[in-house]
Amino acid sequence: MPLDYVKFPYQAVYPGDDEVTADSIFSGITTFARLPWVQCLGKDKDAAFDVAFIGAPFDTGTSYRPGARFGPSGIRAGSRRLTLYGGYNVPLEVNPFLSGLKIVDCGDIPVTPYDNKHAIKQIEDGHKALLHRQTFSTLGNDTFTGKALKPISTDGKNHPRVITLGGDHTIVLPILRSIYTAYGAISVIHFDSHLDTWKPQVFGGAPSDQAAINHGTYFYWASQEGLIKNGSSIHGAIRTTLSGPADYANDDASGFQRIEAREIDTLGTDGIIKKIRETVGDKPVYLSIDIDSIDPAFAPATGTPETGGWSTRELRTILRGLDGLHIVSADIVEVAPAYDTNAELTTMAAADVLFEVLSVMAKTPLSKVVD
């Protein structure tokens, strides 16, 4: 294949059906799945896209093991072999990289490690700058009815999707603040071994206003700020210990329903998918995935590991079951590569999880038919 061959001017070379695969995917600068690197927050600040990957290298809100600031680079390294055989997702019957969407890797938001308050503002501003960018593709008309499509956002604009590579889970508070500016209060699907809705006076004791915002309290604050749509948000893979039953009462008040990790033994993946879909309905949804929702046997490199989690295969199956939902943006967090094996178990799992998320996004535009 000629060195200057580029099938699409804005994409890396992704082989299609019956084309050459198993090329030298380990060469070149490491971006997510070999996507083109666009300096979205720098010289390419006006570039349009449909889906952007962006890193948020922040980990000073963690309570146990630090290191997730290196998560974005680790996840990108784990994604190198995603397109080794072309990128076609067999269960979902789509190749997201050849779906006609312009998908880019925007690098990382520059995040200070010295000042949490400023870092959280940097993440919000960086995410918002991407979210309010012009999309590359237009909505057009519905395939079946031929009627015009209109955006599902509250501001009436067609927004691109942003997939954030964390970073510890604190980053979701500034992201939800950004999401609110386009979609209002949003339904949340949250895969995690922990609730992350703890009251600050319980989780960490809140010795200062800034310490009260951390990776165990960000959903509490999001709920208090009205960023979450109560009753249509749900946790999955929960299996943490608690301070007591009051933690679940507080979680209820924060607007979440729960699926315990152990319920996979009784509900199965189909039952879990059904419960998630019934909870969210057809509402716009934000998807947040903590890598510790996967059992540490499969993904050991995380800040607060908990045994008894789901396998990588189970989580990927559940994510594929979200096909058709309007996922407006997503993240994967708490990947701390320093605790991984040389085989890159965790970073590969994180990359593969995002491949499923991207595939679901590629199949469902953020639109509805005009009545």
Which residue(s) pair with 233 in the sheet? 256
Angle in degrees, CA 302, 175, 316, rounded to 5: 50
Dist CA 214 CA 231 (whole Å) = 23
In angstroms, the Cα distances linking 177 to 252, 277, 280, 345, 350 are 21, 24, 20, 32, 24
First to last CA, the chain: 48
Neighbours of 47 (CB within 10 A): 17
**H-only helix segments in the chain:** 71-78, 116-131, 172-183, 218-224, 246-253, 264-280, 312-320, 345-363
What integer pLDDT is reported at residue 8 of this predicted model?
42
Residues 6+ apart with CB under 8 A from 153: 159, 182, 183, 284, 328, 366
Backbone angles phi, psi at 51, to 5 degrees: -135, 130
pTM attached to this predicted model: 0.93
Q: Where do we find the tokens 């109560």? A: 230
Instruction: Tell me the C-alpha distance between 14 and 35, whole Å.
Output: 9
Three-state secondary-structure class, residue 299: coil
Q: What are phi and psi of 78, to 5 degrees?
A: -70, -15
Burial degree of 43 (CB within 10 A; 0-12, 13-18, 19+): exposed
Query: d(Cα 187, Cα 251) in Å, to the nearest integer?
Result: 15
SS3 339: helix
Is 333 within 8 Å of 353 (Cβ atoms)? no
Give residue 6's pLDDT.
43
pLDDT tens, the chain, 371 aa long: 444 444 444 445 677 776 666 677 777 789 999 999 999 999 999 999 999 999 999 999 999 999 999 999 999 999 999 988 889 999 999 999 999 999 999 999 999 999 999 999 999 999 999 999 999 999 877 767 778 899 999 999 999 999 999 999 999 999 999 999 999 999 999 999 999 999 999 999 999 999 999 999 999 999 999 999 888 999 999 999 999 999 999 999 999 999 999 999 999 999 999 999 999 999 999 999 999 999 999 999 999 999 999 999 999 999 999 999 999 999 999 999 999 999 999 999 999 999 999 999 999 999 987 76
Report how far residue 209's alpha carbon sits from residue 162's, in angstroms, rounded to the nearest whole number.
29
Token output for 327: 């996922």
pLDDT at 21: 66
- Per the CB < 8 A criterion, the answer to whether 209 and 200 are in contact is no
- Distance between CA atoms of residues 157 and 327, nearest Å: 16
Give residue 22's pLDDT.
66
